[in-house]
Amino acid sequence: MATTFDFNNKTVAVIGGTSGINRGIAERFAAAGAQVAVASRSQDKVDDTVASLKARGAAAALGIAFDVRDPEAVAEGFAKIHESFGDLDILVSGAAGNFPALAADMSVNAFKTVIDIDLMGTIHVMKAAYPYLTRPGASIISISAPQSYLPYEGQSHVCAAKAGVDQITRTLSLEWGLEGIRINSVVPGFIDGTEGAKRLAPSPEVLKGLTRSIPLGRLGDCDDVANACLFLGSDMASYISGTVLAVDGALYQRGSGSTGEMMGHMLRAASAQKKG
């Protein structure tokens, strides 16, 4: 598909931007001429992504390793990005962790780990980026998930965290709107070949059932999500704020039904086997 957006002279930061969906977003902004910064825990993944951003035509590319659970490291990371690139026009916040586990089988720390990455990580990123956002005109995009509004068995931690992420989106659209800062969430459906989809559909049978349940008849791909982010980051979306945009092939209209049920069945069988 031809890129119709021009992000020359724009600065973009993608947090959790070194693999899967978020890396795809960073790469598309790079190909559209932006200077792009990415961050995640692994320095190797950061370095590899920066090389790819440059190869795809980024005006400049920068990477920093930090864990979104550490608010001081996140603040230092944004200060460094600002030092090199100046104010941020577009911020994508997408760092997340997920594993399927029934609530009764999960330790308190397991639940808290996902809350700390997805939910606390989001507010750490928002607060650290806030002083450096272009006013007016900045666009923030949080990468959410269908778990924000659909309950899935084995996903109580992710459902709680992503619902919180979308409420941060809605609340900050009120708090920061008068400064000319827009904020929206993008909800990818099941995206082909990604870590998230592999973890939730670990067998060909589950993947087949899941694909059948998607009204558009296919999994999404990373470009589907990146296209929505390019739109929300552009002036074409200048009156859109506080919204939660599903890019999910109409998965939401179907609900979590058979997919959630399959996951629950698998997890209960594994749990029963473990308990003997």
Which of 25, 30, 96, 246 forms a contact with ligand NAP (CB under 6 A)?
A: 96
Answer yes or no whether residue 190 interacts with ligand NAP by CB under 6 A.
yes
The least CB distance from residue 251 to ligand HXC, in Å, is 8
d(CA 40, CA 13): 11
45 binds, among ligand HXC, ligand NAP, none (CB under 5 to 8 A by kind): ligand NAP
Strands 139-143, 60-65: parallel, antiparallel or unpaired by DSSP?
unpaired
Which of 58, 81, 114, 117 forms a contact with ligand NAP (CB under 6 A)?
A: 117
Using alpha carbons only, what angle is made at residue 226 by residues 223 and 227, rounded to the nearest 5 degrees?
A: 85
95 binds, among ligand NAP, ligand HXC, none (CB under 5 to 8 A by kind): ligand NAP
Binding stretches for ligand HXC (CB under 6 A): 96-99, 101, 106-107, 109-110, 113, 145-146, 158, 190, 195-196, 199-200
Does residue 63 contact residue 47 with C-beta atoms inside 8 Å? yes
Answer yes or no whether residue 164 interacts with ligand NAP by CB under 6 A.
no
Q: Which residues contact 22 (CB under 8 A, 6 or more apart)?
A: 14, 15, 16, 38, 92, 94, 95, 143
109 binds, among ligand HXC, ligand NAP, none (CB under 5 to 8 A by kind): ligand HXC
Kindly tell me which of 3 and 271 has the beta carbon lying closer to ligand HXC.
Answer: 271
The least CB distance from residue 228 to ligand NAP, in Å, is 12
Binding positions for ligand NAP, 192-231, rule CB under 6 A: 194-197
| Chain centre distance of CA 236 | 21
d(CA 149, CA 131): 31
Answer yes or no whether residue 18 interacts with ligand NAP by CB under 6 A.
yes
Which of 114, 145, 183, 263 forms a contact with ligand NAP (CB under 6 A)?
A: 145
18 binds, among ligand HXC, ligand NAP, none (CB under 5 to 8 A by kind): ligand NAP
Binding positions for ligand NAP, 25-44, rule CB under 6 A: 40-42
Count the Cβ atoms, other than its own, within 10 Å of residue 100: 20
Residue linked to tokens 């559909």: 201
d(CA 96, CA 77): 18
DSSP E strand boundaries for the chain: 11-15, 35-40, 60-65, 90-93, 139-143, 182-188, 244-247
Q: Among all residues, whose Cβ is closest to ligand NAP?
A: 20
